[in-house]
Amino acid sequence: MAHNQISPTSAQMGLSRDEELFALREMLLIRRFEEKAGQLYGMGVIAGFCHLYIGQEAVVVGVKMAAKEGDQFTTSYRDHGHMLAMGMDAKGVMAELAGRRSGYSKGKGGSMHMFSREKNFYGGHGIVGAPAPIGAGVAFANAYRENSCVSIAFFGEGAANQGQVYESFNMAALWRLPIVFIIENNRYAMGTAISRATAQTQCHRRGEAFSIPAKQIDGMDIRVVKAAASEAIDWCRSGKGPYLLEILTYRYRGHSMSDPAKYRSKEEVDRMREEHDPIEQVRLRLLADGVSEEELKKIDASVRKIVAEAVEFATADKEPEVKELFTDVLM
């Protein structure tokens, strides 16, 4: 198993035009959704913690494109993008952000705590390292039932310093659990740059200690993400045990809505947006491939419509009934 490759070969990377169009639409949906969520936060419709995924869209969409029906996702609190990628309804997610009764958690979970058994999404966890063992537990159930599904656990490079992550790596490798651990390395754990918090900044190298095959890849190029994720997921599905992907990405917005952004320069953010934007890369390739600007605008319009309807739904929805305070504590 080759370790530490920076990216798959270009031959592995190619996406068909339909795949590119699908990727564009999915990433745009996340971006427009998150832009709107940020606006609603400013208007006071959404409160508390709200962590936006803008800039990181290619990670979750690329992995989802590589996954099969039945594969499960678990992530931490920057989770809106993961839910949309898993096919959860934008209305239900937005209503939950607004704390309304038709939200995925009846308004009782909020931005960080949403789930969908139907869509195989196991959270939405407020504790940053939790997706590693919980995802490994979902993988344990897959192995136990021999259902050939793969569990995919996402967490940040900051969370990757937590002990529970390594405990999970160890057991997943020991028991050959079908799980892809994905470190979404967006360079900043809240406001702390990776080099200020992490002794070995090449996060993928941590797989070696557990004999887990690992790769570090460019997470701003969805072709790379999809190709690497396919390889990783296939590895797991074939019964060879876990796989670790360190996906290099970047979040354009603050850690949460109250981020002072003093820890990085505006130039750094602008350079990422202008030179590496995952959506713009797909858009330019599609244009070069002969897709018309008009067709791309139609996609954007259709996405904006979904988001507008979600906002309308969420703001018109009522708060949970008072009796819901005491339900769902025990079954």
Partner 1 sequence: MSINILMPALSPTMEEGKLSKWLKNEGDSVRAGDVVAEIETDKATMEVEAADDGVLAKILIPAGTEHVAVNAPIAIMVEEGGSLDDISAAPSSSELTKNTHSEEISTPHSIEPDAAPSSTRHPIDAPEIPAGTTMISMTMREALRDAMAEEMRRDSDVFIMGEEVAEYQGAYKVTQGLLQEFGAKRVVDTPITEYGFTGIGIGAAFAGLRPIIEFMTFNFSMQAIDHIVNSAAKTLYMSGGQINCPIVFRGPNGAAARVGAQHSQDFAAWYAQIPGLIVIAPSNARDAKGLLKAAIRNDNPVVFLENEILYGKSADVPAIEDFVLPIGRAYIARAGEHVTLISFSIGVIYALAAAGELAKEGIEAEVIDLRTLRPMDLPTIIQSVKKTGRCVAIEEGWPQCGISAELAMCIQEEAFDYLDAPILRVTGKNVPMPYAANLEKLALPSIEEIIHSAKAVLYRD
Binding string to partner 1 for residues 63 to 92, with x set by CB under 8 A, is what? Answer: ---------x-x------------------
In 10 A of CB 87, how many CB atoms?
13
Q: Applying CB under 8 A, which of residues 130, 222, 225, 311 lies at the interface with partner 1?
A: 130
Residue 116 in contact with partner 1, rule: CB under 8 A: yes
Residue 134 in contact with partner 1, rule: CB under 8 A: yes
Q: Are 282 and 27 within 8 A, CB to CB?
A: yes
Q: Applying CB under 8 A, which of residues 37, 138, 225, 286 lies at the interface with partner 1?
A: 138
Least Å distance, CB 295 to partner 1, is 38
Q: Applying CB under 8 A, which of residues 56, 164, 185, 249 lies at the interface with partner 1?
A: 164
Residue 331 in contact with partner 1, rule: CB under 8 A: yes
Q: Are 32 and 242 within 8 A, CB to CB?
A: no
Which DSSP letter does residue 247 get? E
Least Å distance, CB 98 to partner 1, is 14
**DSSP run (H or E) holding 245:** strand 243-248
Residue 47 in contact with partner 1, rule: CB under 8 A: no
Q: Alpha-carbon distance 160 to 128, whole Å? A: 9
CA angle 59, 274, 293 (to 5 degrees): 85
74: left (phi over 0), alpha (psi -120 to 50) or beta: beta
Q: Are 26 and 85 within 8 A, CB to CB?
A: yes
Q: For residues 28 and 128, which CB has a smaller minimum distance to partner 1 in the complex? A: 128
Residue 242 in contact with partner 1, rule: CB under 8 A: no
CA angle 107, 109, 114 (to 5 degrees): 105
**DSSP run (H or E) holding 280:** helix 278-288
Least Å distance, CB 43 to partner 1, is 24
Least Å distance, CB 178 to partner 1, is 12
Least Å distance, CB 331 to partner 1, is 4
Chain centroid to Cα 54, Å, comes to: 11
Q: Which of residues 165-184 bind partner 1 (CB under 8 A)?
A: 166-168, 170-171, 174-175
Task: Give the residues lining the site for partner 1 (CB under 8 A).
Answer: 72, 74, 103-109, 113-117, 122-127, 130, 132-142, 144, 151, 163-164, 166-168, 170-171, 174-175, 327-331
